């Protein structure tokens, strides 16, 4: 993998990743400012930090293809966030970040605890093509993406203020996507968020994911020598899928080449099966859970697809019991939905 670093005129960094070195000449950068200023406030009842970034109200929202900021720039067109005519995978600091190295000081005159939101938010563009998905890009490109994630994990964790890094992908307008171009994001937090902290606590007690391997047969969607994709017996969404390596890894930065290939294939195949299941693009949130800083010896890396369709035309909404109590109610058994998804042939 080759990595090219470009410093944008607005102060943000852009990284181009590829199988070959980038030899393209940068085009003129877009003349636009970077929104700044965010902070976190402590929620004393839920005991968690809430991040406030009011500038995000005016961020780009569902632009038409000709104004897409994630497409490559063209010499005869409007400049985009990526001032190059082509690329394989591009990563750049978000223009509208919730967490930022330049977040600034938090207000101190509030009736609750506050803190700076000095982290980072990055955009990961999977392909220069405006249309597509993790299921339609090539296996070679997906493998490159896994290596990109590993590189971003290592670089962001090298910063002393970063305590947790989470790559994710939101897919589909039904769950709030604001740009159609195939892409994901990476949030780098100056604290460990509550879900990651609870998972870390579980892994301190036992190797929970390794323990599942012995009883995974009824819940398996697909597997090979290196990785398993399953609808877990504790799934909170009818078609929720968990993908993880069969050997312990704190994150993808410790994967072997074969594990990179396996994990990349699993992600693409899950998306292809989702899309074939109801013959339409399936809305989901893909979350990568790697070890928080200091938990590398116990935390088992895994990816989680929160899948928001329960039938072809019905969403799994988070309603009163899920939002108010944090207790999910699911109207399909994991062993049954696993059988359905296992038998889908894209």
CA-to-CA separations, 104 to 89, 188, 235, in angstroms, rounded: 30, 16, 39
Cα-trace Rg, the chain? 20
Tell me the three state secondary structure of residue 309: strand
Around Cβ 256, how many Cβ atoms within 10 Å? 12
CA-to-CA separations, 10 to 124, 305, 321, in angstroms, rounded: 18, 34, 44
Instruction: Pick the closest to residue 82 from 147, 18, 132 (CA basis).
Output: 18
Around Cβ 29, how many Cβ atoms within 10 Å? 19
The yes-or-no answer on residue 183 being catalytic is yes
**Which contiguous run of DSSP H or E holds residue 243?**
strand 241-245
Q: Which residues have CB under 8 Å from 48's CB, separation 6+? A: 42, 193, 194
Active-site residue, selected from the candidate residues 6, 39, 181, 183: 183
Q: Which residues have CB under 8 Å from 341's CB, separation 6+? A: 221, 231, 239, 241, 273, 274, 277
Rounded CA gap, 69 and 47, in Å? 37
Q: Do 287 and 166 contact (CB within 8 A), yes or no? A: yes
Q: Are strands 241-245 and 284-289 parallel, antiparallel or unpaired?
A: unpaired
| Residue 295: both structure tokens together | 């938990």
Rounded CA gap, 327 and 323, in Å? 8
Q: Which residues have CB under 8 Å from 137's CB, separation 6+? A: 126, 127, 182, 268
As annotated, the active-site residues are 183
């Amino acid at each position: 993998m080759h990595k090219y670093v470009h410093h944008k005129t607005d102060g943000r960094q852009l990284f181009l990743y590829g199988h070959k070195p980038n030899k393209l000449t940068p085009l003129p950068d877009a003349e636009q400012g970077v929104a700044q200023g965010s902070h976190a406030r402590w929620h004393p009842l839920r005991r968690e930090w809430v991040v406030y970034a009011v500038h995000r109200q005016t961020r780009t929202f569902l632009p038409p293809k000709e104004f897409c900021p994630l497409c490559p720039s063209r010499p005869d067109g409007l400049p985009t966030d990526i001032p190059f005519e082509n690329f394989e995978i591009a990563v750049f600091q978000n223009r509208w970040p919730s967490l930022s190295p330049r977040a600034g000081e938090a207000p101190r005159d509030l009736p609750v605890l506050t803190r700076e939101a000095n982290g980072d938010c990055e955009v990961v563009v999977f392909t220069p093509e405006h249309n597509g998905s993790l299921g339609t890009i090539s296996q070679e490109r997906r493998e490159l993406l896994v290596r990109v994630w590993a590189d971003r994990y290592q670089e962001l964790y090298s910063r002393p203020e970063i305590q947790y890094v989470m790559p994710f992908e939101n897919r589909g307008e039904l769950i709030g996507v604001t740009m159609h171009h195939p892409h994901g994001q990476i949030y780098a937090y100056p604290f460990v968020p509550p879900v990651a902290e609870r998972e870390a606590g579980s892994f301190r007690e036992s190797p929970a994911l390794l323990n599942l391997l012995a009883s995974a047969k009824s819940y398996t969607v697909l597997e090979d020598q290196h990785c398993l994709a399953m609808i877990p017996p504790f799934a909170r969404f009818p078609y929720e899928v968990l993908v993880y390596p069969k050997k312990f890894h704190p994150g993808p930065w410790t994967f072997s080449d074969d594990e990179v290939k396996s994990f990349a294939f699993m992600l693409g195949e899950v998306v292809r099966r989702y899309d074939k299941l109801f013959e339409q693009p399936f809305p989901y949130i893909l979350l990568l859970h790697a070890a928080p800083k200091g938990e590398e010896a116990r935390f088992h890396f895994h990816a989680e697809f929160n899948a928001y369709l329960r039938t072809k035309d019905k969403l799994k909404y988070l309603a009163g019991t899920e939002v108010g109590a944090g207790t999910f109610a699911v109207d399909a058994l994991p062993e049954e939905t696993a059988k359905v998804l296992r038998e889908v042939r894209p």
